[in-house]
Amino acid sequence: MMSYVKKVLSDLKEKNSSQEEFLQAATEILESIAPVFEKHPEFQENAILERLVEPERIIMFRVPWVDDNGKIQVNRGFRVQFNSAVGPYKGGLRFHDSVNLSIMKFLAFEQILKNSLTEMSIGGAKGGSDFNPKGRSDGEVMRFCQSFMDELYRHIGPNTDIPAGDMGVGGREVGFLFGQYKKLVDGHVAVLTGAGLEFGGSLVRKEATGYGLIYILDEALKMRNETIKGKNIVVSGSGNVAIYAAEKAETYGAKVLAMCDSSGYIYDNNGINVDIVKEIKEVKRGRIKDYLKYPNTESAQYVEGGIIWNVKCDIALPCATQNELSEESAKILAKNNTKYVAEGANMPSTNEAVDVFLKNNMLYLPGKAANAGGVATSALEMAQRSSRIQWTFEEVDAKLKTIMVNIYHNIDNAAKKYGFEGNYVVGANIAGFLKVANAMLAQGVV
Ligand SMILES: NC(=O)c1ccc[n+]([C@@H]2O[C@H](COP(=O)([O-])OP(=O)(O)OC[C@H]3O[C@@H](n4cnc5c(N)ncnc54)[C@H](O)[C@@H]3O)[C@@H](O)[C@H]2O)c1
């Protein structure tokens, strides 16, 4: 059934020739689910793939705002509402200068399958802007968020589309976005997750993606009679996902040797103090090299512009951004005898890097499964808001853990069922796809 996949992919490439990241994600996903079409000819008969690769709706809009010097700035806003077969559109907003339509589409496409894997009845979307909050004042970020919402509000709602945070969009930005939405619709509506605890947010949401990554990794290791305890870990990034992955890994008895930002990485053979990284990134909004200015960090070094994957480790956790781990870096990991790679970020490893992991029999947990804890906890936030109940930290954390353990077994079983035992690219894509495809089939040609 590769011919069906090939045909859809070649049409897709022709129509979207400049959308590199989107084509990269689509190629990985479609090629890995090819075995499904032998067992399910009804999917081809009903043009499920042709429909799946075309977003239901894309919104692009102008975001004008005034900076602190009184100068007018113009950014571009996006919302890709890719698939609502399983539930209302759900997916984060990214504010970063690299944002473009290709990146939005790849993220939204991945999100469809990820959300399906959570088993929480949410469809796939993504949005954002080429605005970068880094170096901007709170006032500038607020005015940008207000202008962004002035357009976005008419396209979202608690039963249609519920955005959340992503890179560059944390608690501060969600607060400003929600404030403007509430004013425009005159209602305290649950339309953004990642909300502050004072206005409908959920405990554990902030920690969820990073914690979830460690929970699924822990389960995968347990199944191999291994533990996280005593392992050396490298975590790329130093943002929301990276910080809480590092924090949880340390409580499980691992040592985090290195973390980074887009300028360079810090390295400490005695283990990174995650509380300092939290202070730098969450409070000071500074750079990772500031780590060395803190007390008791004498054994740490900062490597400007270096590739973090050169640091020898047992476990690699890419938690920064797409395509941050190249084929060359994957070969270095393999040479250094790294046995486990679990992705906190979305598509951080290139398709060639993934081939290296699989060829070297490394355990590889792809982002759409391994970082699904964030969106799953967003769905738990929605459940709490609609029932007007607030669960305790322990309750939400326990549910998150159960979800991650279930995802692991779900992708493991799907891989086995289709004859690809231990290949979680195949396992995650097939398990995620089947639910969406069956929902689309049931709903007719819409
Ligand atoms: N926040 C979530 O709940 C969530 C959920 C699932 C997936 N993700 C994904 O995780 C990744 C990180 O998101 P986040 O929410 O932690 O964002 P964030 O903005 O909090 O942090 C991003 C981090 O990546 C670093 N970074 C960016 N570009 C880099 C580069 N080229 N090289 C090295 N470092 C770089 C930044 O310095 C920062 O430390 C993204 O791929 C995002 O889509 C996030």
Q: Is there a single domain that holds both residue 180 and residue 319?
A: no
The pLDDT tens digits of the residues spanning 363-417 come to 999 999 999 999 999 999 999 999 999 999 999 999 999 999 999 999 999 999 9
Is residue 29 a part of any domain in this protein? yes
Portion of the chain with pLDDT greater than 70, in percent: 100
Q: Is there a single domain that holds both residue 234 and residue 99?
A: no
Confidence at 167, pLDDT banded by 50, 70, 90: very high
167 lines ligand 1 (CB under 6 A): yes
Q: Is there a single domain that holds both residue 17 and residue 64?
A: yes
Q: Is there a single domain that holds both residue 323 and residue 226?
A: yes
Q: Rounded to the nearest whole angstrom, what is the distance from the C-alpha of residue 99 to the centroid of ligand 1?
A: 13
User: ipTM above 0.95?
Assistant: yes
Domain-ending residue, one of 365, 400, 432: 365
| Residue 2 in this model has a pLDDT that exceeds 90 | no
Q: Is there a single domain that holds both residue 261 and residue 334?
A: yes
Q: Is there a single domain that holds both residue 168 and residue 225?
A: no
| Residue nearest to ligand 1 atom 22, measured at CA | 239
Report the domain count for the chain.
2
Looking at residue 1, its pLDDT comes to 60
The pLDDT tens digits of the residues spanning 319-367 come to 999 999 999 999 999 999 999 999 999 999 999 999 999 999 999 999 9
- CA within 13 Å, CB half, 42: 9
The pLDDT tens digits of the residues spanning 215-233 come to 999 999 999 999 999 999 9
Residue 308 CA: nearest ligand 1 atom is 33
Catalytic residue among 105, 126, 231, 248: 126
Please provide the average confidence, as pLDDT, over all residues in the chain: 97
Q: Which residues pair with 73 in a beta bridge?
A: 65
Is residue 160 a part of any domain in this protein? yes
374 lines ligand 1 (CB under 6 A): yes
Q: Rounded to the nearest whole angstrom, what is the distance from the C-alpha of residue 134 to the centroid of ligand 1?
A: 13
344 lines ligand 1 (CB under 6 A): yes
CATH number of domain containing 167: 3.40.50.10860
Domain-ending residue, one of 365, 382, 405: 365
Q: Rounded to the nearest whole angstrom, what is the distance from the C-alpha of residue 319 to the centroid of ligand 1?
A: 6
pTM: 0.96
CATH number of domain containing 212: 3.40.50.720
Q: Which long-range contacts (CB under 8 A, 24 or more apart) does 380-384 make?
A: 380/202, 381/193, 381/194, 381/195, 381/200, 381/201, 381/202, 381/205, 382/158, 382/162, 382/190, 382/193, 384/202
Is residue 231 a part of any domain in this protein? yes
Looking at residue 141, its pLDDT comes to 98
Confidence at 252, pLDDT banded by 50, 70, 90: very high
Q: What is the largest CA-CA distance in the chain?
A: 65
Is residue 395 a part of any domain in this protein? no
Q: Which domain holds residue 312?
A: 207-365
Domain-ending residue, one of 365, 387, 407: 365
